[in-house]
Structure 1
Amino acid sequence: MHPAKSARRPAHGTVGAGFAKKLFARPAERRLKATLDEGLERIEVVLKNEVQFADDIADVTTTYLLNAGGKRLRPMLVLLAAQLGPNPVSEQLDRAAAAVEITHLASLYHDDVMDEAELRRGVTAAHLRWSNSTAILAGDLLFARASRVFSELGADAIRLQAEVFERLVLGQLNETIGPREGEDRIEHYLRVLADKTGSLIAAATEFGVMLSDAPVEYRAAVREFGESVGIAFQIADDVIDLSPDHEATGKLAGTDLRAGVETLPVLLLQQRAEAGDTDAADLLDRIRTRVADTSAGLHDPRLAIPGPQNDVDPAEVDAIIAELRAHEVTSETLKTAHEYVDRAVAALDVLPEGVVKTALQEFARRLVERNA
């Protein structure tokens, strides 16, 4: 099975600070930023307390990716959405935000096993650091701990968490099996993104509204917002993957393509090829025969697999990736990401005007405009 795109992208930064700094640059937003910064500090304490078990081996494995960093975007969304309610700060909200992040962490352990990933957040993937079984069990422990936290927050929270867990699994299952015969590959791809990424981001915003006692009609709005943002985030990653700026992205251009993963630019290229575009067909063939399966050991020489997976000149691979980067399908991919951002922003129409609504809108836009 080809690696899932979400499983191979190391996160950059810690505790959402760098992203928040860009998001809340205007004077009117600084008070909100201070509130979120304080909340993220509290949540980090909750995370470190909750990702602990009465077993030394369990503690080492379950804290491995937590200690590796991460943007903490999902907890930040819980806190940001909570500002829409009359009770925007509470222990319940902090624990929900932590449990959302723990759920995300758990999914990373499982994804990396399924996808045979080499790196996660700049460190060797847990299944390579220990074993597949150890990584799976570490993920299971984290899912269990998240469920225990949500059980303290009421039936509505438990129900929402269960729905998200189901969608995470369905997304991975559909990605593993692939599109059915006759199914549109792009529609299938977008549905996988919605389940694997959009569902948890949507839940983060919904928990914020739910546990701050915000008006119930806001829940559907922020749910649509979060899911669309999640899809846009992953589509934007398809473009970032082609970037030659290693310093910004932390990885080699075309990491996905080299691993044999067909992201949206490639699927759009296939669509054109099937419609009779011979240039698109030629580029698609070269991607599949000259670029795919050339990724062994690229991330970390310590993980190199003896023998080439594809006996191709690296300069040729780089040139093909650059050709795809300059092709119209990459611009079309970015346009699609912006369309999902527009959908996310439109979903917020029901919210009152103000700094929170503006911050959510900017959050969506900056996720797509980022370069890493």
Structure 2
Amino acid sequence: MLTPVELGLAAVDDELRRRVEKTILANGSCGQPWLDTGMRPLLTRPGKRLRPALVFAAAACGPRFSECDAIACAASVELMHLSSLVHDDLMDDAASRGGLATLHVTRGRDAAILGGDHLLAAGGQLAARVSAAAALAWHQGYSDLCAGQIHETANRYRLDTRMDEYLAAVSGKTGALMRTACRLGALCAGLSEVQVAALATFGDAFGMVFQLVDDLMDLVSTEQLWTKPVGLDLSNGVYTAAVLVSLANPASELSALLRPEMSAADVERAHECARRDGVPFVLELIDEYVALAERVLEVVPDSPARARLVAMPRVYALRAVETKVAREHSRWIRPASVA
């Protein structure tokens, strides 16, 4: 995976990172040792912190920069993200994440429900301390996040899922967090309403790129290359864009293979169908969202900060396509992908 530094987020220096981490830990702790002990590994584990970095990157695009407000907003959106991970792991009954045992495993289901809810409340309070506009943006993001999870849950194991339903789930889950991060950063920067909206649209487009790349890597990468499990979406009933394209192909055998219980051989055959039929379409989708992200920031004042933001989605997609695709699946990636 790529780090904020590798994505060109020079707006986030080490001191700001330390202050954000301190704010996340202080506000994410609830004061009950039995729960705080379980949540501390989640709150302090090394991570990309991409969403907090986006807050600072967006804030650097404006005429003024409120460091304290940006730190609060960065921590608030990360707490929302961490809460979503706790609840996702509970819903999926995942035993671990990033090499760490999940909260419902270490402290039980009640701890995961209460801990996730506490993180949400703490994030919302941080945003509310900044301004009413920040509070509204944060809560709109949370509402969108819930809508995305509802869409994804409703679509599981549905062979008739439409592409627009899948994209709505992505925009709601991954897009909501990155959209909220950019909107909060823009609000900390003194930008106009139109410019705030443009940065939010950029965040949504980058979020779509981010998730589409992740969905692609689930089919064409390895756990070693991608540094997280791959090949699990089909077995979990999550039918991504490549799968939906293959399901729409009358000549594909994919629909006969997909079911809640699949053999390893059936899973591999299904993956081959999705690679053959769907990978070119996913690459085109990534291209479209990269282009949107680059275009929408034209209303934001020209600056090195804007240039870094504009470059991020393409850099991210290109880096993944060039370095994270397994050799045995490289034939599915056209040379000009996201070029």
TM-score category, normalised to shorter length: 0.7 to 0.9
**Structure 1 position 256 matched with structure 2 position 233:** yes
Distance, in Å, in 2 between the alignment partners of 1:187 and 1:141 is: 33
Distance, in Å, in 1 between the alignment partners of 2:60 and 2:299 is: 15
Q: 2:4 aligns with which of 15, 20, 34?
A: 20
Q: 1:137 aligns with which of 114, 130, 145?
A: 114
SS across alignment from 1:256: coil
1:57-136 equivalences in 2 (<5 Å): 57-136=34-113
Distance, in Å, in 2 between the alignment partners of 1:189 and 1:258 is: 17
TM superposition shift of 1:136 = 1.0
**Structure 1 position 45 matched with structure 2 position 22:** yes
**Structure 1 position 349 matched with structure 2 position 298:** yes
**Structure 1 position 362 matched with structure 2 position 311:** yes
Which residue number in structure 2 is paired with residue 29 of structure 1? none
Which residue number in structure 1 is paired with residue 283 of structure 2? 334
Distance, in Å, in 1 between the alignment partners of 2:121 and 2:249 is: 45
TM-score, normalised relative to structure 1: 0.79
Q: From the superposition, tell whether residues 81 and 251 of structure 1 become closer, same or farther in structure 2 (CA, over 3 Å).
A: closer
SS across alignment from 1:21: coil
Which residue number in structure 2 is paired with residue 217 of structure 1? 194
SS across alignment from 2:220: coil
Distance, in Å, in 2 between the alignment partners of 1:193 and 1:123 is: 25
Which residue number in structure 2 is paired with residue 55 of structure 1? 32
TM superposition shift of 1:219 = 0.5
Q: Could you tell me whether the CA contact under 8 Å between 1:164 and 1:199 is conserved in 2?
A: yes
Q: How many aligned residue pairs are there?
A: 320
Distance, in Å, in 1 between the alignment partners of 2:229 and 2:92 is: 18
Q: From the superposition, tell whether residues 63 and 167 of structure 1 become closer, same or farther in structure 2 (CA, over 3 Å).
A: same
Equivalent residue letter for 2:24 = L
Q: Could you tell me whether the CA contact under 8 Å between 2:209 and 2:290 is conserved in 1?
A: yes
TM superposition shift of 1:320 = 2.0
Structure 1 stretch displaced more, 232-241 or 242-251: 242-251
Alignment gaps of 5+ in structure 2 = 325-339
Alignment gaps of 5+ in structure 1 = 1-11, 13-17, 25-31, 294-309
Distance, in Å, in 2 between the alignment partners of 1:318 and 1:222 is: 39
- Alignment RMSD, CA only? 2.5
Q: Could you tell me whether the CA contact under 8 Å between 2:21 and 2:75 is conserved in 1?
A: yes
Structure 1 stretch displaced more, 189-198 or 55-64: 55-64
Q: Could you tell me whether the CA contact under 8 Å between 2:212 and 2:286 is conserved in 1?
A: yes
Distance, in Å, in 1 between the alignment partners of 2:11 and 2:183 is: 22
SS across alignment from 1:261: coil
Q: 1:271 aligns with which of 248, 255, 261?
A: 248
TM superposition shift of 1:317 = 4.9
Which residue number in structure 2 is paired with residue 147 of structure 1? 124
TM superposition shift of 1:222 = 0.5
Q: Could you tell me whether the CA contact under 8 Å between 2:4 and 2:48 is conserved in 1?
A: no
Distance, in Å, in 1 between the alignment partners of 2:138 and 2:107 is: 29
| Deviation digits for residues 226-247 of structure 1 (CA, Å, limit 9, x no counterpart) | 1111122111111111134331
